[in-house]
Every structure is written in structure tokens, then in C-alpha cells.
Amino acid sequence: MKKLLFAMIAASAIAGIVCYAGNPSENEGVASVSTAAQEIAEPSKEMASTSSVVIVRAGENVLHAEWENTELAREIQTHFPLTVDMIHYGGREYYGSLDWTPMYSGKGRLSFENGDITYCAKNNTLAIFYDQTDHPDLTMEVIRVGRIKAEDLVAMHRFGNREEFTFVVP
């Protein structure tokens, strides 16, 4: 059964169909965060054409994200597993520099929503916004490449001033 489910997931990924994995155990390593044997939920039709599943690790914390289906997001995903040393800023976000510059970019926006994982071309950084503030307006445009699931945002309030985030495809 495991082999069959794994083969179905691999075939779906090649065909561009998205599968969502259930919650992984906190004690599992990055390589085994999600397997075909775990619960598979059916994505909504809207999400199936626009995103895929990504796991984000910060220390022992496991966050679940939906990754956009854009040129920029796909280019960043080619660097997975991607580890970014991020700094806490303003009680609302973690951000950190990439050691390479994506070829694709595009028009960004000067605001964020809780959970947004963004790329900023101006300073070549990734950011994870986890909490709206009284002033959610930004001084630099950001482009959303993914989104942390709402139920995982609470954990980010307990993170330290500097965290190493690792982005992986389950």
C-alpha cells in the first residue's frame, strides 16, 4: 500500500497534481517529515492549480506551507532543501538573505497577510510574516511565494531572535 501511494504521489507531481500530506510527527527528521503512508487529504480545486505542499523546519518546529505555482516560486523551490538564517523583526516577521539571486521576479506589493512567505528583490531576501501589526505596510515590495498554514503561525510567537529555517518538499 505504501509503495502504491508513493507511486501515485510521484505520478501526480509529474502531472502537476497537488497532494496534501497530513501532520508529521514532531520527532521525525527532515527527510522523513512526510511520507506516502501518512494521511492524504484532497486539495481544493482552487489550490490544486496554484500551490504545492512544503515543510518548513525551524529547530524542532515543523511548519506546513502551501507553495505558489509561479516562475519565481518554482525557481526558489529548485534550491530545496533551502536553509535560510532568519532574523526576527518587528514582532511580525522573520527575514534572511539568499546566497544566490533568482532570475525571475515580478511586481510585488507593499503589504502582507499573516502566513505569507515572500521574496524581496530589492534586498534579495525571503521573509515569513506571521503577525499583522498596527502598520502592515512595507517600505519594499514583496512577492508571495508561499504561505504558512494559519494553525502553525502561533508557534512562531515563541521562536528566538534568530532562527534557521529549512524549506523542503515532503
pLDDT per position as a tens digit, 112-140: 999 999 999 999 999 999 998 666 778 89
Question: Which is nearest to 169 in space by CA: 7, 33, 49?
Answer: 33
Question: Which is nearest to 148 in space by CA: 127, 119, 128, 163?
Answer: 128
Provide the grid cell at 68. 505558489
What's the pLDDT at 65?
98
**pLDDT band at residue 106, thresholds of 50, 70 and 90?**
confident
Pick the residue with more confidence: 1 or 74? 74
**pLDDT band at residue 16, thresholds of 50, 70 and 90?**
very low
Core vs surface per residue 4-41: b (16+ CB within 10 A) or e? eeeeebeeeeeeeebbbbeebeeeeeeeebbbbebebe
Which of the following CATH numbers is that of domain 52-168: 3.30.460.10, 2.40.100.20, 3.40.50.300, 3.20.10.10?
2.40.100.20
Give mean pLDDT, residues 141-162.
Answer: 96
| Cα gap 93→153, rounded to integer Å | 11
CA atoms within 13 A on the CB side of 64: 15
What's the pLDDT at 135?
67
What's the pLDDT at 14?
33
What's the pLDDT at 128?
97
What's the pLDDT at 110?
93
Percent over 90 (pLDDT), the chain: 62
Q: Which tens digits make up the pLDDT trace of 37-96?
A: 222 233 333 434 557 999 999 999 999 999 999 999 999 999 999 999 999 998 999 999
pTM equals 0.70
Of the listed ranges 16-25, 74-83, 132-141, 161-170, the one predicted with least confidence: 16-25
Give mean pLDDT, residues 25-45.
Answer: 32
Task: Domain ranges for the chain, please list them.
Answer: 52-168
